[in-house]
Every structure is written in structure tokens, then in C-alpha cells.
């Protein structure tokens, strides 16, 4: 980020007709946006685009969710016809939705707004061995970079989204692998699984993470850990964050799938999250562990646990409002308001 633009934003925030600091967290957001844009005030981060990366998971065979695997493909069709929550939120917020098949188990589409970038028809079972090959992981990362680069050309803010039955299992494994957190602490109920299913999920995560000896310290180790215990949508999201950073566009993270992918992105490139903001604090425990490890404070706390990018999208108006305030609010001088 551009330190001079960020400093100018802080100075302008203190000259605006309001008590210093009274916009709380939004002052940090406004300054970050200026740093990302390299100018103060930053341009409005509009319109937003949410990219929903969809993938399936071989670990579904372990009985870690009550939902059938075909729901991933069915929800991709639902996104394409505008029937999901992410579509409703996006319509209200003026955001575009792009759905990317990066790893769905069965063929989907074609449909408007649906990109076929399938790298593999679902991962292998991460309970038993590597979820994917290094080459597959790399290709999925490249899909994310490509999508971010394309969207950044005509959008002011990128938003992470995901769909994949069982993807909270892979997310928990990634959080453990990249932060050293314990599987019990990082594994949550996802869509709301019962106690026996949660116990199976913790066991699966424990076995998978045992194959990653220590948190990755190099890009090569990060890619290997991603391939070992991650998902194709996680890989694509890591690439999406890299692409957003390269394009210097603000990017909003959704819940635990984005958070775990952000850990991968940061291990692939230390400055990958300079332009990222955490949209919300998901009810899934791994999300909080990931954000703390990354030093990101979530903007919203609404106990959401849906995914799709819904929580990040809901934070978009806060980001846009911060930018508007920095751009449009009068200063004490310009408005003729007396200072204390």
C-alpha cells in the first residue's frame, strides 16, 4: 500500500467535520483504501463483484456432512438462475455475481455468468491421501488469478465466494496446517452437523493434518500443503487474492473458506493480503483462527455461516461508505465549522 496516500487520508479524516476518530473502524478502512489506490481520496470501490468458486470434495465419503454431494452442482444451477442468497444480496447492493466451476464433481451449465474452469471433478479423499496433485493445485490457483484479473478491469471491489459440500472440512485442515491450531479448536459444525458427525470431522482433519509436518514457510511448502489437505475452490480463492493484490483492488473475505485460502495466499506471497478486508466473523471457529493469524479484524459479526460470499457482500456497503466519507465530507475550514 502507498504510505503517503494513507497518511494523507489520516490527515483528511482528522480535518473532516466530525470529532477525530469518531468513525471508528471505518477510519482504518478509509485509510487502507487510499493506500490501496495510491491516492487520497481513493476512488469509490464500485461496483463490487463476487466470484463464487465451486468445488467438490472426495472427503464427502467419510460421512462428515448430512448433505448429498450433488447439492454443490444444484446450488451452482441455483446461483446461475439467481435463486440463492448471494444473488438476492448482490441485487440489492448493485454487485455482480460470477460463478466459477473449478472442481464440481458433475458437469454443470453452460449458463450466463457461469465460467467453466473445471480442473478436476472433485478432489480425492483428503482423509486417505493428497486431495490433489501439485499441478492441479497450481492450475486452480491460476484460475483464481485469471478471474480476479478479469473482474478487476471493471470492478472497484472484489468479493470472495464459495460453494462446496464438505468444504468446511478442508478449511479446518488448512487452518490447522497453516497456523498449527488443533483440529478440535479449528473444526466446526459447518452447516450444523450433529455431535457424531462433528467427531468424525475432527478425526478426519486430525489424520489429514498429520501429513503436514509443520506450517509452511516457503511457497513450495504452501502449495504442497494446499494440495495435500485443501480443496479446488480453496486453491482458486488463494489465486483470487493474489490476483486482486496484483491488480491493487480491495478484496473482501467471506468466512472460513476464504480465511483458510487467505492463509495459503499469504504463504505463497507475504504481501498478498495488503489490500484485503475481512467481511465478517463467521460462526465457524476456523474463520476466527485464520483472521487472527492474518491480523485482520472482521467488519461484521452477525453469526452468519452460509458461505457463497454472503457475509463479505454485506460488508461491502461499509467499505463503500468509508470511501464516500473520505471523498465527500466537508472539512472544518470548508464548512465554516468551529473546532474545539
List residues near its own copies by CB under 8 A: 16-26, 65-68, 70-71, 74-75, 77-78, 81, 83-85, 87-89, 91-93, 190-192, 283, 299-306, 310, 314, 317-318, 320-321, 324-325, 327-330, 334-338, 340
Run of H or E including 224 = helix 219-229
Cis peptide before 217 (omega within 30 of 0): no
Count of other CB atoms within 10 angstroms of residue 328: 10
Spatial separation of the C-alpha atoms in residues 177 and 208, rounded to whole Å: 9
Instruction: Using the minimum distance from each CB to its own copies, give the nearer residue, 87 or 169.
Output: 87
Instruction: Using the minimum distance from each CB to its own copies, give the nearer residue, 135 or 303.
Output: 303
Instruction: Using the minimum distance from each CB to its own copies, give the nearer residue, 26 or 265.
Output: 26
Count of other CB atoms within 10 angstroms of residue 34: 29
Spatial separation of the C-alpha atoms in residues 157 and 154, rounded to whole Å: 9
Residues shown for the chain = 340
Looking up cell 491516492, which residue turns up? 39
308 noted as active-site residue: yes
Instruction: Using the minimum distance from each CB to its own copies, give the nearer residue, 26 or 245.
Output: 26
Asked whether 194 and 186 are in contact (CB, 8 A), the reply is no
Spatial separation of the C-alpha atoms in residues 184 and 34, rounded to whole Å: 40
- Considering the candidates 220, 221, 308, 339, report the single residue annotated as catalytic: 308
Instruction: Using the minimum distance from each CB to its own copies, give the nearer residue, 66 or 213.
Output: 66
Asked whether 325 and 298 are in contact (CB, 8 A), the reply is no
Spatial separation of the C-alpha atoms in residues 325 and 24, rounded to whole Å: 13
The least CB distance from residue 142 to its own copies, in Å, is 30
Spatial separation of the C-alpha atoms in residues 268 and 234, rounded to whole Å: 13
Q: Which residues are identified as catalytic?
A: 308
Amino acid at each position: 500500500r502507498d504510505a503517503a496516500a494513507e497518511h494523507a487520508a489520516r490527515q483528511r479524516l482528522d480535518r473532516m467535520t466530525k470529532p477525530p476518530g469518531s468513525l471508528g473502524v471505518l477510519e482504518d478502512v478509509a485509510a487502507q483504501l487510499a493506500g490501496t489506490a495510491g491516492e487520497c481520496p481513493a476512488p469509490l470501490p464500485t461496483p463490487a463483484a463476487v466470484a463464487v468458486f465451486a468445488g467438490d470434495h472426495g472427503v464427502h465419503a467419510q460421512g462428515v456432512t448430512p448433505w448429498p454431494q450433488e447439492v454443490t452442482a444444484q446450488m451452482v444451477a441455483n446461483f446461475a438462475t439467481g435463486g440463492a442468497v448471494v444473488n438476492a444480496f448482490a441485487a440489492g447492493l448493485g454487485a455482480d455475481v460470477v460463478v466459477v466451476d473449478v472442481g464440481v464433481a458433475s458437469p454443470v451449465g453452460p449458463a450466463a455468468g457461469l465460467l467453466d474452469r473445471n480442473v478436476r471433478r472433485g478432489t480425492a479423499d483428503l482423509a486417505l491421501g493428497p486431495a490433489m496433485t501439485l499441478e492441479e493445485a497450481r492450475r486452480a490457483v491460476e484460475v483464481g488469478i485469471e478471474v480476479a484479473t478479469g473482474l478487476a478491469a471493471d470492478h472497484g471491489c472484489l468479493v470472495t465466494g464459495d460453494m462446496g459440500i464438505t468444504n468446511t472440512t478442508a478449511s479446518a485442515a488448512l487452518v490447522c496446517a497453516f497456523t498449527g491450531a488443533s483440529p478440535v479448536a479449528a473444526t466446526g459444525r459447518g452447516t450444523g452437523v450433529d455431535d457424531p458427525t462433528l467427531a468424525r470431522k475432527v478425526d478426519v482433519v486430525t489424520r489429514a493434518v498429520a501429513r503436514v509436518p509443520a506450517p509452511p514457510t516457503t511457497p513450495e511448502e504452501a502449495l504442497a500443503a494446499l494440495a495435500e489437505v485443501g480443496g479446488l475452490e480453496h486453491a482458486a480463492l488463494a489465486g483470487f487474492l493474489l490476483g486482486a493484490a496484483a491488480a491493487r483492488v480491495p478484496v473482501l473475505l467471506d468466512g472460513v473458506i476464504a480465511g483458510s485460502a487467505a492463509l495459503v495466499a499469504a504463504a505463497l506471497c507475504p504481501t498478498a493480503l495488503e489490500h484485503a478486508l475481512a467481511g465478517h466473523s463467521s460462526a465457524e471457529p476456523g474463520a476466527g483462527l485464520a483472521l487472527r493469524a492474518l491480523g485482520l479484524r472482521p467488519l461484521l459479526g452477525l453469526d452468519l455461516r452460509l458461505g457463497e460470499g454472503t457475509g463479505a457482500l454485506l460488508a461491502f456497503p461499509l467499505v463503500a461508505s468509508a470511501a464516500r466519507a473520505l471523498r465527500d465530507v466537508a472539512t472544518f475550514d470548508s464548512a465554516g465549522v468551529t473546532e474545539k
